[in-house]
Amino acid sequence: MKYRPIPSELFVDNRRRLSDLLPDDSFAVIHSADIPWRSADGSLHFIQGSDAYYLTGVDQEETILVLCPGHPNPKKREILFVRESSDLIAIWEGHKLSKEQATEVSGITTVLWTDDFKPHLRRCARQFDQIFLNYNEHARSASPIGITPDDRFRKEVQTLYPNHRYGRLGPLMHQLRVVKSKHEVEKLQKACDITADGFARLLNFVKPGVLEYEVEAELIHEFVRQGSRGFAYEPIIASGKNACVLHYLTNDQVCQDGDLLLLDVAAEYANYNADLTRTIPVNGKYTPRQRDVYNAVLRIFRLCIDELVVPGKHMKDVYHKEVARATEDELIALGLIDADVVAKEREDDELPEEKRAYRKYFMHGVSHSLGIDVHDVTPVEGIFVEDMCVTVEPGIYIPDEGFGIRLENDIIVKAGGNIDLMADIPIEVDDIERLMAGA
């Protein structure tokens, strides 16, 4: 791995907290991800499953974790199974973890080869009545069912042991993962710092005539140079009217003089992800109209971080509506929507948000969880909690004027005042213009 070793105490504590939630008459099984297949005999780079990494720190395929907190033998309360290597595997694929190295990474004392897993499963199934199984329960997941090792195992084990009781591991993992520990915040901050350096590099690179994918190339160079695997997600590098396509990924157009360039780009580090958006002038100077719209978005951005994101607040039912009302005020001031229309809509509590006038110019959510997944797990209740990591990303998009503006930082939610992990990344209009001028 490109990143530096992570203290095993992070994964030890994660397993301890999960074990505390499991009944004594149960055991839990968590598999690693597959190596993703591309086509023919070609595969893509391995990316560990989020839950498997969270609980073990092992960045290797064919890894299985079994947690059995009620086992009478303390050595069998947590067992890690890793792939046994060979001279042939070493030649073709490179180094695989030894048992000793797996212990060092994960903090798990009992490490066995993956081939030993099925005999161990049979013994556990005889001793314990309930099996907790893992499944991607993310509310926005559109992944086909049955494609992961956890999916295949779930089908297999329920066929082998139909009379056992089965538990859902997903809700427990969501409960744990939403709160970020000190070590996790350090990795998130590192991802943000690498992202900051990539953005600083762009401010001295972007000019009329460069291609969007040339901007992408500058970023990937800086990210990988600093030990990142690369982009945390597919980069959005959208000049001019392309910024009004929320998930624009083509990145193949020429950046024109007078246009804005929306950059939704960030690095990952040690499986943790940053998420940044900035909107900069291609020629280094915002027009008066661009400046006015930019500062309107910036005011909404500041309002969210300084006042609206607080522990205990419901994200959808309260926070997003508060942001919507602030956005309406800004759009009225910009001459984009009519004040009388807004006043009438505010009297109608039954009018859905998606049908209100402001949605023509601001049509997406304002915040999402961030962590091992870019859209990380979120409490079922949908509320902000202490030490949760979230994005703040308001925007205004004006297709008729050929530009859109979005700003985004990552914050740690705190009752005494949120921590902005991207506070040092330039965001004010004057600072961006000054830096693009080479000052």
Q: Is residue 353 part of a domain?
A: yes
* CATH number of the domain residue 196 falls in: 3.90.230.10
pLDDT-derived band at 210, boundaries 50, 70, 90: very high
**Whose CA is closest to 8, among 80, 100, 105, 109?**
105
Q: Is residue 1 part of a domain?
A: no
Q: Is residue 2 part of a domain?
A: no
Question: Which 8-state DSSP code applies to residue 74?
Answer: G
The average pLDDT across 176-192 equals 97
Residues 136 and 116 in one domain: yes
Residues 197 and 159 in one domain: no
Residues 84 and 162 in one domain: yes
> Total domain count for the chain?
2
Query: In this predicted model, what pLDDT tens digit does every residue of 92-142 receive, in sequence order?
Result: 999 999 999 999 999 999 999 999 999 999 999 999 999 999 998 888 877
Statement: residue 144 has pLDDT above 80: no
pLDDT at 147: 82
Q: Is residue 4 part of a domain?
A: no
CA angle 214, 217, 223 (to 5 degrees): 150
If DSSP codes are grouped into helix, strand and coil, which group holds residue 379?
A: coil
pLDDT at 99: 98
Residues 328 and 407 in one domain: yes
pLDDT at 146: 59
pLDDT at 379: 82
Question: In whole angstroms, what is the distance from residue 253 CA to residue 246 CA?
Answer: 16
125 and 164 in contact (C-beta within 8 Å)? yes
pLDDT at 2: 81
pLDDT at 94: 94
pLDDT at 386: 97
CB atoms under 10 Å from CB of 72, counted, come to 8
Residues 206 and 74 in one domain: no
Residues 15 and 128 in one domain: yes
**The model's pTM:** 0.95
Final residue belonging to a domain, choices 134, 160, 177 = 177
Question: In whole angstroms, what is the distance from residue 398 CA to residue 402 CA?
Answer: 6
pLDDT at 37: 87
Cα 73 to the center of its chain, rounded Å: 37
Statement: residue 439 has pLDDT above 80: no
Average the pLDDT over each of 116-120, 193-197, 381-385 and give the range with the smallest value.
381-385
**Whose CA is closest to 410, among 232, 235, 251?**
232
Q: Is residue 419 part of a domain?
A: yes
Question: In whole angstroms, what is the distance from residue 93 CA to residue 154 CA?
Answer: 29
pLDDT at 434: 98
pLDDT at 145: 60
Residues 205 and 317 in one domain: yes
Query: In this predicted model, what pLDDT tens digit does every residue of 391-409 receive, in sequence order?
Result: 999 999 999 999 999 999 9
Final residue belonging to a domain, choices 129, 161, 177 = 177
Residues 111 and 245 in one domain: no
Query: In this predicted model, what pLDDT tens digit does every residue of 241-262 receive, in sequence order?
Result: 999 999 999 999 999 999 999 9
Final residue belonging to a domain, choices 177, 212, 244 = 177
Contact partners, residue 392, CB within 8 Å, separation at least 6? 301, 304, 305, 309, 366, 367, 408, 409, 411
Contact partners, residue 412, CB within 8 Å, separation at least 6? 180, 185, 387, 388, 389, 418, 419, 421
Please give the structure tokens belonging to residue 436.
């693009």
387 and 376 in contact (C-beta within 8 Å)? no
Domain residue limits at 406 = 182-436
Q: Is residue 326 part of a domain?
A: yes
Residues 86 and 169 in one domain: yes
Region class of 132: left (phi > 0), else alpha (psi between -120 and 50), else beta: beta
CB atoms under 10 Å from CB of 320, counted, come to 16
Residues 216 and 359 in one domain: yes
